[in-house]
Amino acid sequence: MRTKIVGTGSYVPEHIATNDDLAKIVDTSDEWIRTRTGICERRISEGIGTSKMASRASRNALENAKIKAEEIQLILLATSTPDHHFPSGACEVQADIGAIHAAAYDISAACSGFLFALNTAHSFIQSGCYETILVIGVDCMSKVVDWSDRGTCVLFGDGAGAVVMKGETGTEADTNASGLLHMIMGSDGTKGSVLSCEARTVGNFLTGTKPNFGTVAMDGQEVFKFAVKKMPEIIEQLMRESELTIEEVRYFVLHQANYRISESIAKRLKVSMEQIPMNIDRYGNTSAGSVPILLDELNRQGRLKEGDLLALAGFGAGLTWGAALVRW
């Protein structure tokens, strides 16, 4: 079986928070944020939670794919910021869009989440379990960011992206036919403390202390060093194992964490920034949402032509990393 992406969709909240807006609440400046990260503004959800953002992106993807919700057999939703511990965000999306025949569950791999979900969907299709799968990457980081920590709060934004994947007869080995050609996933749990967010601190039963929610804690420089080393490594591995070359790739659709990280990846791979589309200036780091939002933008702008080779890659807390090579 071959796995094709047959539709894309995305949703970002309407409310824009500019760097100047953040400079009113923490000791920072538009100049610092722009030059260190490439971010100019981000979207912040006001009342629309993770699952609703995901549903809106999903509806757009289904419309784009010309597929009805009832045809979906599996919903995989990647997020680190679900609205509830249970039910899962995927089940909430299922109910919202009316995907009555689907099984649905969430996947947690932070900013790599969408790539992990994409690769999981690919494996289900390859194994013959399912033919039509909705894959969502969504995060509402504004819920878990410490708005008094200038080191992290300026980086993140809210948003959702989704793709519809379909199995078609054919073989993965035919690298000229459209579909997902190869994938990579990896994790290093020993580096968990570099980027973390506690779900709930333990409450004390005896003293009656209530549990609290944690916020994002990060060693920015460690994450930066990890990303600029790991991203080129996995893209090179992806190409090597597919027996294709970097020169054949049209676009590198990368996780939007920091403009300087993407520049460094471009330099290491010896490709121009024209091949590394960016939208971090408008959305910041939307975590699991970033790769599918960017993919949807490229698709809707008509920049993806049939036969184009796309290298998708991301990294995040865990630490985790993932990549997928797609023939459009």
Asked if residue 220 binds ligand COA (CB under 6 A), the reply is yes
Q: Which one, 15 or 34, has the nearer CB to ligand COA?
A: 34
* CA dist., res. 323 & res. 311, Å (int): 7
Q: How far apart are CB 224 and ligand COA at their closest, in Å?
A: 4
Q: Which residues are catalytic?
A: 111, 255, 285
Region near ligand COA per CB under 6 A, out of 31-39, 62-70, 203-211, 268-276 = 31-39
Candidate list 97, 111, 136, 194; residue touching ligand COA; CB under 6 A? 111
Region near ligand COA per CB under 6 A, out of 81-89, 148-156, 171-179, 296-304 = 148-156
Q: Footprint of ligand COA on residues 59-98 (CB under 6 A)?
A: none
Asked if residue 186 binds ligand COA (CB under 6 A), the reply is no
What's the Cα-to-Cα distance from 218 to each of 147, 222, 327, rounded to whole Å? 14, 9, 35
Amino acid found at 114: F
Q: Which one, 32 or 130, has the nearer CB to ligand COA?
A: 32
The alpha carbon of 75 is separated from its chain's Cα centroid by a whole number of angstroms, namely 15
Region near ligand COA per CB under 6 A, out of 88-96, 101-109, 150-158, 174-182 = 150-158
Asked if residue 36 binds ligand COA (CB under 6 A), the reply is yes
Asked if residue 221 binds ligand COA (CB under 6 A), the reply is yes
Asked if 194 and 225 touch (Cβ cutoff 8 Å), the reply is no
Q: Where are the beta strands (DSSP E) in the chain?
A: 2-11, 16-18, 41-43, 74-78, 103-107, 132-140, 158-168, 179-187, 195-197, 216-218, 251-254, 309-316, 320-327
3-class SS of residue 170: coil
Q: Which of 97, 95, 93, 90 is nearest to 117 (CA)?
A: 90
Q: Are strands 309-316 and 320-327 parallel, antiparallel or unpaired?
A: antiparallel
Asked if residue 9 binds ligand COA (CB under 6 A), the reply is no
For residue 87, say if its preceding peptide bond is cis, omega within 30 degrees of 0. yes
Binding footprint of ligand COA on the chain (CB under 6 A): 28, 32-33, 36-37, 111, 150-151, 154-155, 195, 218, 220-221, 223-224, 257-258, 285, 316
